[in-house]
Amino acid sequence: MVGVAGAGIGLCGAVCASGCASDTGSSLAGSSSEAGAGSPFAPKEMRIYPLTHVERVSGEKSADGARSRIVCHLEFVDRWFDTCKAVGRVELEIYRPGGGLNPGVDVRAGRWDIDLTNLERNAEWFDPVTRTYRLQLDVPVELEQVKGANVRLRAVFTPLNGGAGGAVLQDEFVLRG
C-alpha cells in the first residue's frame, strides 16, 4: 500500500511541477518579434499628445516682443497600448505655410534633435503626471513673425541602435495659430 501511495504522491508532484513551469522561450520569442524590438515593452506607437501648445515666455523678449515656446508632449505606447518610456533619438521639425510661388506647400522653419539615449535627461523630460515626454522648444525667430497661421509639428523617433529590430515611429500635429 505504501508503494501505491508513494507513486501517487510522486505523480501528483510531477503534475504540479509541470503546471508551475512556464514556457517563456516560445511565448516570448514570438512576442518580441511582434513588438519589433528586443523587449516586449518597447514602444510600438508614438503620438504628439494633444497637450502640445505654444506659450509665451515671461521675462524673455525678442526684437519685436515677447518670445514664444512650443511645449511638445510625446507619448509612447507598447503593443498592449500601455504608456511606456522610450530610448532613442527624436527629430522634431516645424513647418509653416508656404507662400509666393508655392502656396499650399509647407516650408520647414525649424528643427530640434532630442537625445533620449541619455538616461538622466530622458528621466528629466518624462512627466509622470501626463506620462509623456514634455519637451520645451524655443520658437524660431522666423515663426515669431507669422502670427495667426497654423503650423505643423512633425516628430520622428528612431530607437536605440538605429532602429535595428525596432520600427521608426512618426507623427504630425497641427498647432493652431
The predicted pLDDT at position 71 comes to 97
163: left (phi over 0), alpha (psi -120 to 50) or beta: left
Contact status, residue 15 vs residue 8, Cβ threshold 8 Å: no
Question: Do both 25 and 106 map to the same domain?
Answer: no
**Other CB atoms within 10 A of residue 82 CB:** 11
Task: Check whether residue 7 and residue 68 sit in a common domain.
Answer: no
Termini Cα distance of the chain: 87
Tell whether the model's pLDDT for residue 158 goes beyond 90: yes
Q: Which residues pair with 92 in a beta bridge?
A: 112, 155
Summarised one tens digit per residue, pLDDT across range 115-129 is 999 999 999 999 999
Residues 27 and 56 in one domain: no
pLDDT confidence bin for 26, thresholds 50/70/90 = very low
| DSSP 3-state of 35 | helix
Q: What nine digits make up the cell of 149?
A: 497661421
How many domains is the chain partitioned into structurally?
Answer: 2
Give yes or no for a contact between 62 and 144, defined as CB atoms under 8 angstroms apart. Answer: yes
Range of the domain at 95: 37-175
Tell whether 90 and 126 lie within a shared domain.
yes
| Pair 67, 148 in one domain | yes
Q: Higher confidence at residue 141 or residue 94?
A: 94
The model's pTM = 0.73
Name the one residue in this structure whose C-alpha cell is 512627466: 127
